[in-house]
Structure 1
């Protein structure tokens, strides 16, 4: 038994503690995010679809959340330099990463990675998926994927295929095609897709797998011939170009982009960013611009994007194994 005075003192003390905890929780809930400038790290050089896509979303987030979201380009090492910079940043939502196919590929392509992407980056939201397209020089005597395969078999090792670099989705899409079609060609890596496309147009290189975003205007202008897209569905940007899988059943690749944050970023911040990014993707003007780029929006919550990342990582692991390609 305790005295009435002791009981009242104990109850008062407990009430004060609960009130304090409640006020602390309320203060935490009322803390605004973002509280200062947000760095949106793009692990590629400035220019191209990654910048256009990032700036579209950053402009929307800046307007909606009252702080500047600024694109910061950190290229190098197949996106690993920019990814590492975000992993090392404070997990407070003020440093974000433009995630991409490269992250899914590098998990198996680069055995010496100094980080575990699946563990060290929190998936926030998907942004867009972009089909690739097989383009060839206009003088190459082929007008379909089937003719391209027949020509490659008749001329083993005599054709060259460009890519934007070793281990990229463009390179591995070509390697997967080579393995599935049973053909041989020489891989010629470039620093980016633009110089590769230039050499395809000039005839120094016979073909290239490239993102629809950076090649569709050249196809429309008649400077390149498109043979097939890498997705099972046709691209709205190149509606007359059939899927490669029509001639090579089971073949499918694409590039994708999303947003990630450092591990231990609070769930409340992740969910807020996810809602706002999905709102941006639903915006009429942004949807129209993505369509002009040949990009297909990826909507959904953070858990759905996490599941997609896991699926893509496994898909590209199989491509890496089938192609026999790996970073030395």
Structure 2
């Protein structure tokens, strides 16, 4: 039988080659100055911002506004790429698999990070896939009901649902999204039974909400402003305090359901192992953007408060909120089809 490996005698007249491990170390050492210079020069080209929603939605609008406001500090523009669907997983994967050089980032809503990854069959710790750059905004969800519904306040909705168990239909744009989980949390906190009706898109949700096919939904204010102004739907409560103009006058749901609260927030994430020098530059640009009067006005119009948090705070927040939504998912036995 032939040996698995041939052992060859070295010709002692030939010079001894440099140790391959040493050669690799020297090679890496020669590359370090170039890598450091590349980070110092960052960014030297436009930055790709992936948004896990279709163009025109609330998160898309905020991301585009933020990218435009950050560009002057960085000296480079953001190129927006919308990768919707799949509960945000395709967008997350696209970022996680990109080079960790700061030229691909994710602008997302909190549910994309704290809730939807919990529903994946091949579940992994999201913070091993992406790293926080910074939070820029926070907003409560608004509880909106059809103008044709027989209740005009949170207390009336709860009373009606208790008298008619399971007959109040709560819509959402998909299973496992924050609007769905918010519905489950609300129902359990209020001690009522409601029916969740998932849709594949926001357009049909609004049509059925206006017609009264579904009676209620949680979501961010920009999705509802126009129809509220027309009187086709009503905003009856918010899930957390807010200073934004469109939300003034709406009562906290916790007034009727003590202890009930949650918020949606928006943040930038980069691929894991992105150098701190790069993420720090991005966060500094976010901080500069947060002082931009035009961005402040745009966010206020969208029902969003400026809320800054750095990477360390965000890691803690992601862990905390993931634990909350994991319990909701487990108690409600929510699974993706």
TM-score range, shorter chain: 0.7 to 0.9
Contact 1:200–1:207, Cα closer than 8 Å, also in 2: yes
Judge which range, 30-39 or 142-151, deviates more.
30-39
Residue 261 of structure 1 is aligned with which of 223, 245, 270? 270
Residues 222/154 of structure 1: CA separation in 2 closer, same or farther (3 Å cut): same
Counterpart residue number, 1:112:
122
Counterpart residue number, 1:245:
254
Residue 152 of structure 2 is aligned with which of 143, 157, 163? 143
Q: Which runs of 5+ in 2 are unaligned?
A: 1-25
Residues 184/62 of structure 1: CA separation in 2 closer, same or farther (3 Å cut): same
Residue 194 of structure 1 is aligned with which of 200, 203, 206? 203
Counterpart residue number, 1:32:
41
1:120-176 CA distances to partner (integer Å, 9 max, x unpaired)?
101001021121111111122212111101101111122211111111111111111
Residue 51 of structure 2 is aligned with which of 42, 46, 49? 42
Residue 86 of structure 2 is aligned with which of 42, 65, 77? 77
Counterpart residue number, 2:193:
184
Counterpart residue number, 2:16:
none
Judge which range, 101-110 or 160-169, deviates more.
101-110
> TM-score scaled by structure 2?
0.85
Counterpart residue number, 1:91:
100
> TM-score scaled by structure 1?
0.87
Contact 2:171–2:214, Cα closer than 8 Å, also in 1: yes
| CA–CA distance in structure 1, aligned partners of residues 33 and 197 of structure 2 | 59
Secondary structure of residue in 2 paired with 1:257:
strand
Counterpart residue number, 1:102:
112
| CA–CA distance in structure 2, aligned partners of residues 188 and 176 of structure 1 | 15
Residue 288 of structure 2 is aligned with which of 256, 276, 279? 279
Secondary structure of residue in 2 paired with 1:130:
strand
| CA–CA distance in structure 2, aligned partners of residues 26 and 195 of structure 1 | 49
1:218 aligns with 2:236: no
1:194-220 CA distances to partner (integer Å, 9 max, x unpaired)?
321221111111111121121133223
1:294 aligns with 2:294: no
| CA–CA distance in structure 2, aligned partners of residues 40 and 262 of structure 1 | 12
Contact 2:39–2:278, Cα closer than 8 Å, also in 1: no
Q: Which runs of 5+ in 1 are unaligned?
A: 1-16
| CA–CA distance in structure 2, aligned partners of residues 27 and 234 of structure 1 | 42
1:10-57 CA distances to partner (integer Å, 9 max, x unpaired)?
xxxxxxx9xx99x94896378411122211011111111112111112
Secondary structure of residue in 2 paired with 1:39:
strand
The runs of at least 4 aligned residues of structure 1 exceeding 4 Å deviation read 232-235
Secondary structure of residue in 1 paired with 2:150:
coil
| CA–CA distance in structure 2, aligned partners of residues 241 and 131 of structure 1 | 11
Contact 1:159–1:206, Cα closer than 8 Å, also in 2: yes
| CA–CA distance in structure 2, aligned partners of residues 318 and 243 of structure 1 | 23
Contact 1:60–1:280, Cα closer than 8 Å, also in 2: yes
1:173 aligns with 2:185: no
Contact 1:126–1:305, Cα closer than 8 Å, also in 2: yes
| CA–CA distance in structure 2, aligned partners of residues 187 and 97 of structure 1 | 29
Counterpart residue number, 1:124:
133
1:255-283 CA distances to partner (integer Å, 9 max, x unpaired)?
21100111111110010100111110121
| CA–CA distance in structure 2, aligned partners of residues 167 and 37 of structure 1 | 33
